[in-house]
Amino acid sequence: MRQGTFDTSQLIACYAPPNLRSVMPGNRVMLRSGGPEMTVCDIDESGRAVVQWMDPEGRLECSAFDLECLTCFGAR
């Protein structure tokens, strides 16, 4: 095999939770990469989900994520 090339037999199969196509306020979600349970609070003008969650110290956090980054909470 030439240096710098590979074939698909060299790849490790990794499972990825499914993407979400839509969400509604109240849905429980999490990042596809893992993390805490988050609750969808709103959908912003760009179509991103505005979510809230509690950090390990008990503080309420809020952020917006593209739907491609989210999956249903507990999806495996």
For residue 11, what pLDDT is reported?
74
Per-residue pLDDT at 49 exceeds 90: yes
Question: Span 54-73, mean pLDDT?
Answer: 95
pLDDT in tens, 29-39: 999 988 999 99
Report the alpha-carbon distance of residue 58 to residue 68 in Å, rounded: 27
